[in-house]
């Protein structure tokens, strides 16, 4: 039963990561919906360089789908990839957690940035993009924890 539960958590993680990746892909193709939620600084950084979002989107989507796929089909080079996924989960949790908390502290007025802040961007990071990173990281970590016994069975599908 543990493998079935791991599969569920990997599926939720995959949905969160693919959603993140699809928005990056959408913006790479020139889409503008929700781009203001990224913040002025980030959008100015990528102005005229949106093509850089293609590899970002590919990395997010691959990083979201591969753990689920490997849980179903067996982990290649199991120790390396399994622990790399743990590092990724930790990074997503730390990044998403810190930025979600910080963004909400700024929006609540408890933290006041010296130079002010971009409200739309802060809302996007506090309520959408960084919580989505956090959900992705937590669900990936839970899936990795629950699936730890099957990760050592390279080449064997999890049942």
Report yes or no: 92 and 131 within 8 Å, Cβ to Cβ: no
Q: For 42-101, what is each residue's pLDDT tens digit?
A: 899 888 999 999 999 999 999 999 999 988 888 888 889 989 999 999 999 999 999 999
**39 found inside a domain:** yes
**127 found inside a domain:** yes
**75 found inside a domain:** yes
**98 found inside a domain:** yes
Spatial distance between the Cα atoms of 127 and 32, rounded to a whole number of angstroms: 19
The domain total for the chain is 1
**153 found inside a domain:** no
Spatial distance between the Cα atoms of 134 and 151, rounded to a whole number of angstroms: 23
Q: For 93-130, what is each residue's pLDDT tens digit?
A: 999 999 999 999 999 999 999 999 999 999 999 999 99
Report yes or no: 129 and 19 within 8 Å, Cβ to Cβ: no
**21 found inside a domain:** yes
**156 found inside a domain:** no
What predicted TM-score, i.e. pTM, was given to this entire model? 0.87
- Where in the sequence is the domain holding 92, given as residue range(s)? 2-146
The CA distances from residue 130 to 53, 126, 134, in Å, are 17, 6, 6
**129 found inside a domain:** yes
């Amino acid at each position: 039963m543990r493998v079935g539960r791991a599969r569920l958590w990997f599926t939720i993680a995959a949905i969160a990561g693919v959603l993140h990746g699809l928005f990056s892909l959408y913006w790479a193709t020139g889409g503008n919906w929700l781009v203001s939620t990224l913040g002025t600084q980030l959008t100015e950084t990528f102005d005229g360089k949106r093509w850089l979002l293609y590899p970002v989107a590919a990395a997010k989507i691959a990083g979201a789908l591969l753990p689920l796929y490997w849980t179903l089909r067996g982990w290649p080079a199991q120790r390396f990839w399994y622990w790399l996924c743990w590092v990724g989960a930790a990074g997503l949790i730390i990044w998403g957690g810190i930025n979600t908390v910080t963004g909400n502290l700024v929006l609540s007025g408890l933290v006041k940035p010296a130079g002010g802040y971009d409200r739309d961007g802060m809302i996007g990071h506090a309520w959408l993009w960084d919580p989505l990173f956090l959900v992705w990281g937590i669900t990936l970590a839970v899936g990795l924890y629950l699936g730890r016994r099957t990760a050592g069975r390279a080449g064997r599908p999890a049942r």
